[in-house]
């Protein structure tokens, strides 16, 4: 595969951007090699600057649940752009997307649009603190919530522990407001609430953790988390930036039928444009300015183009059978690859929920905590990654990232992809 143009662009980009990129994982550091500069996308495919074609399982890290350049999203944008790009006023388009969500999602009574998942989380935590008038936040090791200062925190040593910062530039005093607990561990959770409950403003979790492998949680753990939060007047935040509108229109909250106090959204919600949102009951949202004392604002928030793209995408998601069809297609891919890996006795399985999958190099254990992932095994991923890329299968360039299937992926595309995965498994595990 010729990648001269990507190589030249990357060389130039390194002169302009730190690491040549505007978001770190794009730099290919964990798999090595040259990031592909993409130029065009259509349906499940995208083409790089050298004209190479890829079947895309990154889907822009999740937003593109309809695939690239979906006709309804494209025509909504074309119509919208004729009228202008931004007004800094309320628009009917924002209202339309807001209503589409609140009318079809039992967990959101009122919503506020922002411009990214990070911003949604940042605002949700501020709201939780403002509403509860408490300061501490619980987060879980292995969950990612964007680059919010007080959540760039990792577990320190000891059982119940305040975190250590996981990025330079985050003051230790911020980390001292955040408790970091292991996922899926009800004992650690109860202990943390027992010791600190009266100061805990909120617990934030990815109910379907999908940013550090796919760490599927026991429903009993999430229920325990709901109960502990309620008992201690702490708010439960479901960070549904990945899972929202992805595993179902009601996201993970609907999937588990657990009602969090605040939800955050991003990715799918914007139809490929930069949108985030946070939502809650009308009572909790009454704390947000201008109604209440929790300040939060945005020059380009609810940008009309982003709103029409989001509304176009989510309307398609609401069509009968949308999520069922997507889950079924994904399962065919996953089952096919898993049957092959089992037959060959490779230490591998694809873990999956709805249209999200993860390549897991551990066939026996159900991995539910970040600490269970063996970093050494990422060498297998690297081999598979480059083999797949060469064959025209595009995954996010890190073994800790999940893959996404869109409705644009046909059964034939997925059957073809399954064969490519099998070939790359043979290569990684030393056959062929």
Ligand X SMILES: *Cc1c(COP(=O)(O)O)cnc(C)c1O
Q: Which residues bind ligand X (CB under 6 A)?
A: 116-118, 121, 144-146, 206, 211, 239, 241-242, 266, 276
* Cβ 350 vs Cβ 334: under 8 Å: yes
Nearer to ligand X, 200 or 402 (CB): 402
Nearer to ligand X, 36 or 145 (CB): 145
Task: Output Rg (C-alpha) for the chain, integer angstroms.
Answer: 21
Nearer to ligand X, 118 or 217 (CB): 118
Task: Give me the least distance between CB of 239 and ligand X, in Å please.
Answer: 4
Cβ-closest residue to ligand X?
Answer: 117
**Burial degree of 4 (CB within 10 A; 0-12, 13-18, 19+):** exposed
Task: Give me the least distance between CB of 215 and ligand X, in Å please.
Answer: 12
| Rounded CA separation 356/95 (Å) | 30
* Cβ 268 vs Cβ 246: under 8 Å: yes
The answer to whether residue 239 is catalytic is: yes
Nearer to ligand X, 265 or 380 (CB): 265
The answer to whether residue 394 is catalytic is: no
Nearer to ligand X, 122 or 189 (CB): 122
CA dihedral (423, 426, 427, 431) in degrees, to 10, reads -130
Return the HEC string of 341-402.
Answer: HHHCCCCCEEEEECCEEEEECCCCCCCCCHHHCCHHHHHHHHHHHHHHHHHCEECCCCCCCC
User: Which candidate, 422, 404, 294, places its Cα nearest to that of 56?
Assistant: 404
Task: Give me the least distance between CB of 194 and ligand X, in Å please.
Answer: 27
**Distance from chain centroid for Cα 334:** 20
Nearer to ligand X, 224 or 239 (CB): 239
Q: Which of 144, 323, 380, 400 is catalytic?
A: 144
User: Which candidate, 230, 239, 276, 279, places its Cα nearest to that of 105?
Assistant: 279
Nearest 5 degrees, angle CA 330-CA 332-CA 334?
70
Q: Which of 134, 139, 177, 267 is catalytic?
A: 267
| Rounded CA separation 63/270 (Å) | 7
| Rounded CA separation 354/358 (Å) | 12
Q: Which of 185, 239, 261, 387 is catalytic?
A: 239
Nearer to ligand X, 43 or 251 (CB): 251
Task: Give me the least distance between CB of 18 and ligand X, in Å please.
Answer: 17
Helical axes 186-196 vs 219-231, angle rounded to 10°: 10
Task: Give me the least distance between CB of 151 and ligand X, in Å please.
Answer: 9
Task: Give me the least distance between CB of 29 and ligand X, in Å please.
Answer: 18
Task: Give me the least distance between CB of 3 and ligand X, in Å please.
Answer: 26
Tell me the three state secondary structure of residue 260.
Answer: coil
| Rounded CA separation 269/284 (Å) | 21
- Which residues carry out catalysis? 144, 239, 267
């Amino acid at each position: 595969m010729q990648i001269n143009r990507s190589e030249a662009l990357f060389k130039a980009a390194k002169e302009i951007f730190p690491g040549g990129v505007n978001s770190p994982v794009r730099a290919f550091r964990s798999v090595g090699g040259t990031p592909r500069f993409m130029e065009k996308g259509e349906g499940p495919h995208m083409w790089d600057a050298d004209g190479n074609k890829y079947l895309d399982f990154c889907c822009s890290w999740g937003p593109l649940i309809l695939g690239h350049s979906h006709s309804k999203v494209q025509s909504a944008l074309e119509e919208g752009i004729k009228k202008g790009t931004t007004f800094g006023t309320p628009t009917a388009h924002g209202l339309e997307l807001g209503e589409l969500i609140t009318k079809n999602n039992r967990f959101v009574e009122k919503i506020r649009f922002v411009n990214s998942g990070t911003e949604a989380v940042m605002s949700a935590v501020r709201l939780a603190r403002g509403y509860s008038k408490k300061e501490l936040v619980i987060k879980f090791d292995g969950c990612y919530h964007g680059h919010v200062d007080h959540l760039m925190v990792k577990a320190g040593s000891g059982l119940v522990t305040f975190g250590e910062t996981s990025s330079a530039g985050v003051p230790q005093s911020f980390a001292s407001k955040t408790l970091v607990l292991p996922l899926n561990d009800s004992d650690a959770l109860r202990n943390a609430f027992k010791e600190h409950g009266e100061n805990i403003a909120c617990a934030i979790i990815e109910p379907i953790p999908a940013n550090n492998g796919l760490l599927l949680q026991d429903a009993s753990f999430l229920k325990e988390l709901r109960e502990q939060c309620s008992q201690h007047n702490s708010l439960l935040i479901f960070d549904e930036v990945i899972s929202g509108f992805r595993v179902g229109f009601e996201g993970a909250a609907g999937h588990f039928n657990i009602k969090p106090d605040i939800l955050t959204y991003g990715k799918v919600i914007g139809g490929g444009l930069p949108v985030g949102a946070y939502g809650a009951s009308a009572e909790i949202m009454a704390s947000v300015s201008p109604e209440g004392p929790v300040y939060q604002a945005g020059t380009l928030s609810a940008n009309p183009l982003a709103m029409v793209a989001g509304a176009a995408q989510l309307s398609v998601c609401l069509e009968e059978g949308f999520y069922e069809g997507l889950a079924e297609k994904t399962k065919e891919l996953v089952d096919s690859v898993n049957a092959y890996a089992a037959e060959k006795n490779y230490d591998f399985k694809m873990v999956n929920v709805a249209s999200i999958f993860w390549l897991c190099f551990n066939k026996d254990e159900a991995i539910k905590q970040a600490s269970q992932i063996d970093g050494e095994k990422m060498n297998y991923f690297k081999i598979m990654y480059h083999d797949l890329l060469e064959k025209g299968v595009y995954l996010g360039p890190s073994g800790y990232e999940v893959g996404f299937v869109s409705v644009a992926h046909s059964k034939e595309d997925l059957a073809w992809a399954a064969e490519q995965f099998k070939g790359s498994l043979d290569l990684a595990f030393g056959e062929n």
